């Protein structure tokens, strides 16, 4: 019983395999009818992805893919002759305990530093017009992203390390040969090129483009759409609202 409770306490955040002296384990993130569960073995009827976890890692990954407090229960059942655990109640399951946890936030996303407010078409109009024209972008969308990201503050620095008007992460800035991430001209030009690349990838879908700009292409691919991170969902909604404002203003 003690070992089961010890496992259950860890399983609330990871859904680990039964506790032994091991340094790594496999956890399955399973999706069924749009709901996510974590399990120690693939769940019948669910689409499951295996994830290797290091028990000694300093940072626990957010396998839920959802920020904020999660409430549920941990269940155990026999599957193929062995005891397995899951946060989804399946036929033959026995409830072990209830839990309330707050999964760690995805470390790469942020909700953006800019507030919606009004359309600010007076901010760097020539730079935005030129960058939109060169990259064949909708000027309103480019400005909406900049507004959501930084509120047009050229010296903006996010807690995650994103820099400048377009809030480029250092690796993205390097990808587009940006020498000074706080230069309005360089930031807008590189941000426009990055948006063009994302729009081509997602065949003009602004929602997926905004999601990838915020959380990365990997997260969009992993979840098959807008990732279920609270920050990303708020960011996408903010960009869409701003796009409507700038489309009307321009």
Q: Which helix (H) or strand (E) holds 31?
A: strand 24-32
Kindly state the average pLDDT of the residues 236-246.
95
Domain with CATH 1.10.530.10 in the chain: 125-249
Quote the CA–CA distance of 144 and 33 in Å, as a whole number: 33
Residue 51 pLDDT:
82
Active site residue 149: yes
Average pLDDT, the chain: 84
Sign of the CA dihedral with 222 first, then 227, 228, and 229 last: positive
Chain segment 85-121, per-residue pLDDT in tens: 999 999 999 998 888 776 655 666 778 889 898 999 9
Q: What percent of the chain has pLDDT over 70?
A: 81
Of 140, 149, 138, 141, which Cα lies nearest the Cα of 116?
149
Quote the CA–CA distance of 214 and 121 in Å, as a whole number: 23
Say whether pLDDT at 21 is over 60.
Answer: no
In the sheet where 82-86 sits, what is the strand order?
47-54, 24-32, 35-39, 82-86, 70-79, 94-101
Active-site annotation holder among 43, 149, 186, 231: 149
Kindly state the average pLDDT of the residues 10-19.
43
Q: Which helix (H) or strand (E) holds 96?
A: strand 94-101
Chain segment 113-125, per-residue pLDDT in tens: 898 989 999 999 9
If one compares 97 and 57, the residue with the highest pLDDT of the two is 97
If one compares 13 and 189, the residue with the highest pLDDT of the two is 189
Topology given in CATH for the domain delimited by 125-249: Lysozyme (1.10.530)
Task: Name the token pair of 45.
Answer: 């009827």
Task: Name the token pair of 48.
Answer: 């499951």
> What pTM was computed for the model?
0.64
């Amino acid at each position: 019983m003690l070992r089961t409770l010890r496992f259950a306490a860890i399983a609330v955040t990871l859904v680990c395999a039964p506790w032994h002296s091991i340094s790594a384990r496999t956890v399955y993130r399973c999706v069924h009818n749009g709901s996510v569960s974590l399990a120690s073995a693939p769940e019948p009827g669910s689409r499951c992805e295996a994830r290797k976890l290091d028990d000694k890692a300093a940072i626990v990954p957010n396998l839920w893919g959802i920020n904020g407090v999660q409430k549920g229960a941990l269940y155990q059942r026999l599957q193929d002759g062995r005891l397995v655990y899951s946060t989804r109640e399946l036929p033959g399951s026995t409830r072990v305990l209830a839990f309330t946890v707050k999964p760690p936030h995805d470390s790469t996303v942020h909700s953006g530093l800019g507030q919606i407010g009004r359309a600010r078409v007076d901010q760097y109009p020539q730079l935005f017009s030129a960058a939109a024209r060169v990259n064949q972008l909708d000027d309103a969308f480019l400005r909406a992203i900049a507004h959501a990201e930084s509120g047009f503050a050229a010296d903006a620095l996010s807690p995650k390390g994103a820099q400048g008007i377009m809030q480029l992460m250092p690796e993205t800035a390097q990808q587009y040969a940006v020498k000074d991430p706080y230069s309005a001209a360089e930031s807008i030009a590189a941000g426009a090129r990055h948006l063009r690349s994302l729009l081509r990838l997602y065949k003009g879908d602004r929602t997926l483009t905004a999601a990838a700009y915020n959380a990365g292409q990997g997260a969009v691919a992993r979840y098959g759409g807008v990732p279920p991170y609270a920050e990303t969902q708020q960011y996408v909604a903010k960009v869409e609202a701003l796009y409507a404002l700038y489309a009307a203003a321009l």
